[in-house]
């Protein structure tokens, strides 16, 4: 079963393995399979479910809401996000303006079939809206009881500090950051994690298995597995492209002895690795089959000895991306319409 961790400087506990439905619900898998995956997550003790209004252009929220119908609401932590374009893509259908934030929370609640979400997250930083406007909107949503807590996703250290200061002035706090983080992608370690610690945030990390690369299923010189993320033309192949070279894939193969020594699959090792960081509250895992959920949960509670952590670093060497500037490099400089 899954262990639980406090989220940031709050009293909220979430399951350290969190179920996410990016790239799956409403797009890659049929709704009945998505429901089976959610049921498998619940059966494994996962209580925390992460989604966003932009996933499958709002369909993912609807699928998740339908799959959770009948569950005791107080026993769940439902997380969603706002920023990216939704709907027909009008001029105010994106960003973190008060208008878009207020309309988006109402839409998310309707699709999820709930009166509130446990965590509402700014899916990116909006360079075109005053931060004061965005934070005031979040403060009002908290006071209205539509969201219990507020977080951010892929914000830089400076943005986190500025947002946390404004939140404090407005009488609430930011408690979480949702960045990409894995053995191969460690750009948050030098700046985002220290800024988060200073301001009472912890990380809910996405892509701990590096879009599947850390499973070891991609072998240098061999054809891509049929149906894998690297062959997905709905967005998966583009996301995984940065890791798809023989140097990275060859070094990943060197992690198998570490996984074997711990009695883990390589995917479980990857998830367990991110959970060794004490600023990480949870790792988000997705699934296209129910059995994948049960396998991922086995990473919960695993402690990797220091010697094996060093062996992982040695195996991966200089293919690990550590540059903190990558957080801003991958962020939209203007609103995406």
Q: What is the pTM of this model?
A: 0.94
Nearest by Cα to 243 from 209, 272, 269, 271 = 209
Q: List per-residue pLDDT tens for the chain, 337 residues long.
A: 899 999 999 999 999 999 999 866 555 566 788 899 999 999 999 999 999 999 988 999 999 999 999 999 999 999 999 999 998 888 999 999 999 999 999 999 999 999 999 999 999 999 999 999 999 999 999 999 999 999 999 999 999 999 999 999 999 999 999 999 999 999 999 999 999 999 999 999 999 999 999 999 999 887 777 666 655 666 566 778 889 899 999 999 999 999 999 999 999 999 999 999 999 999 999 988 899 999 999 999 999 999 999 999 999 999 999 999 999 988 888 887 6
Structure tokens of 291? 């059995």
140-163 burial string, b = 16+ CB within 10 Å, else e? bbbeeebbbbbbbbbbbbebbbbb
- If you count them, how many residues does the chain have? 337
pLDDT at residue 118 in the model: 98
Q: Which residues lie across from 82 on neighbouring strands?
A: 122
Q: Which residues pair with 280 in a beta bridge?
A: 203
User: Cβ(70)–Cβ(114) under 8 Å?
Assistant: no
Q: For residue 74, which phi and psi values (nearest 5 degrees)?
A: -70, -15
CATH fold, domain 4-211+277-302+322-329, is TIM Barrel (3.20.20)
3-state SS of the chain?
CCCEEECCCCCCEEECEEEECCCCECCCECHHHHHHHHHHHHHCCCCEEECCCCHHHHHHHHHHHHHCCCCCHHHCEEEEEECCCCCCCCCCCCCCCHHHHHHHHHHHHHHHCCCCEEEEEECCCCCCCCHHHHHHHHHHHHHCCCEEEEEECCCCHHHHHHHHHHHHHCCCCEEEECCECCCCECCCCCCHHHHHHHHCCEEEEECCCHHHHHHCCCCCCCCCCCCCHHHCCCCHHHHHHHHCCHHHHHHHHCCHHHHHHHCCCHHHHHHHHHCCCCCEEEEEECCCCHHHHHHHHCCCCCCCCHHHHHHHHHHHHHHCECCCCHHHHCCCCCCCC
Domain ranges for the chain: 4-211+277-302+322-329
Torsion angle in degrees (nearest 10) through CA of 224, 228, 229, 233: 80
pLDDT at residue 335, as a whole number: 82
Residues labelled as active-site residues: 55
What pLDDT does 239 receive? 72
Rg of the chain over Cα atoms, rounded to whole angstroms, equals 19
- From residue 332, how far is each of 51, 94, 127, 306 by CA, in Å? 20, 12, 8, 37
Q: Which two tokens stand for residue 106?
A: 């109402």
Number of Cβ atoms within 10 Å of the Cβ of 49 = 27
Nearest to 184, CA basis, from 317, 10, 20: 317
């Amino acid at each position: 079963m899954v262990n639980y961790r406090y989220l940031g400087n709050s009293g909220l506990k979430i399951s350290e393995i969190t179920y996410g439905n990016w790239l799956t619900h409403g797009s890659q898998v049929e709704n009945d399979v998505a429901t089976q995956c959610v049921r498998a997550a619940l059966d494994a003790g996962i209580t925390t479910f992460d989604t966003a209004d932009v996933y499958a252009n709002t369909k993912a929220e609807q699928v998740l809401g339908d799959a959770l119908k009948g569950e005791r609401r107080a026993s769940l932590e439902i997380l969603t996000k706002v920023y990216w374009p939704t709907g027909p893509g009008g001029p105010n259908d994106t960003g973190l303006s008060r208008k878009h934030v207020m309309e988006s929370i109402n839409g998310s609640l309707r699709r999820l079939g709930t009166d509130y979400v446990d965590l509402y997250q700014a899916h990116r930083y909006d360079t075109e809206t005053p931060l004061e406007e965005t934070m005031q909107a979040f403060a009002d949503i908290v006071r209205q009881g539509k969201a219990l807590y507020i977080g951010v996703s892929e914000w830089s250290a400076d943005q986190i500090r500025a947002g946390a200061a404004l939140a404090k002035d407005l009488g609430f706090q930011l408690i979480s950051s949702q960045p990409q983080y894995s053995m191969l992608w460690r750009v948050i370690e030098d700046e985002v994690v220290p800024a988060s610690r200073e301001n009472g945030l912890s990380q809910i990390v996405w892509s701990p298995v590096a879009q599947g690369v850390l499973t070891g299923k991609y072998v240098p010189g061999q054809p891509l597995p049929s149906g894998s993320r690297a062959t997905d033309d709905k967005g998966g192949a583009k996301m995984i492209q940065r890791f798809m070279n023989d140097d990275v894939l060859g070094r990943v193969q060197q992690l198998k002895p570490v996984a074997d020594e711990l009695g883990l699959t390589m995917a479980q090792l990857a998830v367990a690795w991110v959970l060794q960081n004490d600023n990480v509250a949870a790792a988000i895992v997705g699934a296209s089959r129910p059995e994948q959920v049960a396998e991922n949960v086995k990473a919960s509670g695993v402690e990797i000895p220091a010697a094996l952590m060093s062996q992982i670093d040695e195996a991966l060497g200089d293919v690990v991306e550590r540059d903190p500037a990558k957080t801003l490099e991958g962020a939209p400089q203007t609103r995406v319409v």
